[in-house]
């Protein structure tokens, strides 16, 4: 099951609305390019059609995800349990390095934040999901297994 925060859900719904609102612009570009003549060698036409295909695929992908996702209700989650939307302080047991991680349903793409975003579907996210403060989680990463202690929920 795919979990989202209410903010994630709203961001995805906004993205779908934005893509749908952009449809007339792309359709107009296709029509203008078609009016230029020979479609076989018409780069503008093919570019506009490619853009249309990519945007329609993205609308379908996001809509399908929204249809099957469950919005996490923070009131139902124990205060010491890691769940989607939680920010946790972890200590890497290999080098005692401490970092903040935020468990998200949908990556925002914001790399300026104080915490590292972790998707709930990633190996790190799956290890953190439903873990509690004080527990040690084992994360199987491509470069090997890492172990983290959950220090606190923020």
pLDDT tens per residue, range 99-140: 999 888 777 666 766 888 888 888 998 899 888 888 999 999
Q: For domain 74-153, is the CATH number 3.30.1180.20? A: no
Residue count (the chain): 154
CA 87, 88, 92, 93: dihedral to nearest 10 degrees?
Answer: -170
pLDDT at residue 147 in the model: 94
pLDDT in tens, 59-109: 999 999 889 888 876 666 667 788 888 889 999 999 999 999 988 877 766
- The partner residues of 148 in beta bridges, in order of sequence, read 92, 137
pLDDT at residue 100 in the model: 92
CATH code, 6-69: 1.10.287.180
Distances (CA, A) of 102 to 17, 32, 105: 26, 46, 10
Q: Where in the chain is the domain with CATH 3.10.50.30?
A: 74-153
pLDDT at residue 150 in the model: 92
- Mean local confidence (pLDDT), 18-29: 95
Closest CA to 101 of 147, 77, 138, 114: 114
């Amino acid at each position: 099951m795919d979990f989202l925060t209410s903010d994630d859900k709203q961001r995805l719904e906004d993205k779908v609305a934005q893509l749908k609102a952009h449809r007339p612009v792309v359709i107009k570009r296709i029509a203008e390019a078609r009016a230029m003549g020979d479609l076989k060698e018409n780069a503008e036409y093919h570019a506009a059609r490619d853009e249309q295909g990519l945007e329609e695929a993205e609308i379908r992908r996001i809509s399908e995800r929204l249809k099957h996702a469950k919005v996490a209700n923070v009131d139902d989650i124990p205060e010491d349990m890691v769940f989607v939307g939680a920010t946790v302080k972890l200590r890497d047991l290999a080098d005692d390095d401490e970092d903040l991680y935020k468990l998200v349903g949908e990556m925002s793409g914001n790399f300026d934040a104080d915490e590292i975003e972790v998707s709930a579907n990633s190996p790190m996210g799956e290890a953190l999901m439903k873990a509690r403060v004080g527990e040690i989680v084992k994360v199987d990463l491509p470069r090997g297994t890492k172990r983290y202690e959950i220090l606190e929920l923020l």
